[in-house]
Structures are given as C-alpha cells and as structure tokens.
C-alpha cells in the first residue's frame, strides 16, 4: 500500500496541468523508465481499441486492461511484483 501511494504521488506530479494525451504520454514514459514496461493507452469504441498515447514501439502486447468505460491500456513485459500497484495508481490518476 505504501509503495502504491508513492507511485500515485509520482504520477500526480507528472500529470499536473496537462492535456489528457500529454498526461498519458508522460505516465507511459515514467512507467517505462522506472519499471521497464512499455504501455499504450487506447480509446475504446465497442470492441475496437484505438491508440491514444504511450509507447509507439509496443509490438506484442500481452495484457489488455480496461481502465474506464472509454479508456484502456495495452502492456508488454509486465513486472508482476509491482504491476497491481502501478495499475491502481494509474486508475486513480486518470479518474
């Protein structure tokens, strides 16, 4: 829980006073630099997921996670140890 709060605070600093696209790009950059995990954020239109922000070099995403009704996350090479905390922090920041 303490680790989750640290991640959340870092993501809040990153996302302050920015457009949604810039905020998501900065979050994706932070996650890649800190944890080595490439992520994309996607707009969800029914069954179709369309790239919105994040790492454009994501080749083979292993994970497809719905964050909100209209926003999802694709990820590869996830660090299982920290992933739940990272995911919860991202959900709090974009809410």
Greater pLDDT, 27 or 7:
27
In order of start, what are the domains of the chain with their CATH numbers? 2-94 (3.30.450.40)
**Which residue is associated with the tokens 């998501």?**
24
> What tokens appear for 66 in the block?
């719905």
User: What's the CA gap between 30 and 50, in Å, rounded?
Assistant: 21
User: What's the CA gap between 77 and 4, in Å, rounded?
Assistant: 20
CA-to-CA dists, residue 6 to 19, 42, 66, 84, angstroms: 23, 25, 23, 13
pLDDT score for 83: 87
Mean pLDDT of the chain: 87
Of 10, 4, 5, 23, nearest in space to 95 by CA: 23
| pLDDT tier, 10 (very low <50, low <70, confident <90, very high otherwise) | confident
Indicate the pTM of the whole model.
Answer: 0.84
């Amino acid at each position: 829980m303490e680790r989750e709060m640290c991640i959340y605070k870092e993501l809040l600093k990153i996302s302050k006073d920015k457009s949604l696209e810039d905020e998501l790009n900065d979050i994706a950059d932070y996650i890649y630099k800190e944890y080595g995990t490439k992520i994309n954020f996607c707009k969800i239109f029914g069954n179709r997921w369309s790239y919105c922000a994040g790492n454009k070099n994501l080749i083979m995403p292993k994970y497809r996670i719905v964050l909100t009704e209209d926003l999802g996350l694709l990820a590869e090479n996830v660090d299982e140890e920290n992933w739940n905390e990272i995911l919860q922090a991202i959900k709090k920041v974009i809410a």
